[in-house]
Homo-oligomer: A and B are copies of this chain.
Amino acid sequence: VSRARSARGRGDELREELLDAAEELLAEHDDERQVTIRAIVERVGVTPPSLYRHFRDKRDVIEQVVARRFLALGAATMAAAEGPAARGEAAEALRAGCLAYLEWARENPGGYAVLFRVRRDTELGLPEGSSGSVAFDGLREGIEACQEAGQARSADPHLLAAVVWTSLHGLATLTVLRAEFPWPDLEVMVDTLLHGVVGTPLP
């Protein structure tokens, strides 16, 4: 594949095209290792060294894609919780957000795993608000809304949100990774979790 030469000042276009290609490859292959620099640039129609004008190294490329996907994950859960929250149904909003989180992880198995596979010492490079904290804040606010509505126990919302978040993460990863395990129904597990930990009424 070949490609028309870019004019001066149009370097950002290639950068976006490379990110798009990396995101596509990640979605297709479900496995970080299959997403090679050479596959990315070939898809765009450019040679490997061109990529290094826009990204420091391969890790940098993956990190940028991860940042994008975190925003999408946060948006998906927010969108699901929005309706019930507007109607004042705090517990239902929390439940809908949690289920949307799990559904997103299920539909993006490779992508979801990659979000958390980034090494500790490199995460600082992520732009503010994309390291999962937006989604976490939304979760904590959802729990606080339940408390104010008298639909949750009165414990430290940060503690409850942390327990629910880690549990959701475990559900998201294990149910995909150990697909052959005799899992109980996902909704039942979420309800067990929210009812037990947060204290929301069972639906």
> Interface residues, chain A, CB within 8 Å of chain B?
31, 116-120, 123-124, 131-132, 155-156, 158-160, 162-163, 165-171, 173-180, 182-184, 188-189, 192-193, 196-199
> Which of B119, B160, B192 sits near A160, CB closer than 8 Å?
B192
Is B196 in contact with A184, judged by CB distance below 8 angstroms?
no
- Count of chain copies: 2
Chain B residues positioned under 8 Å from A165 (CB to CB): 170, 174
- From DSSP, what is the main secondary structure of chain A's interface residues? helix
Cβ-closest 5 pairs across A and B: A170-B170, A196-B196, A166-B170, A167-B167, A196-B197
Chain B residues positioned under 8 Å from A192 (CB to CB): 155, 159-160, 163, 197
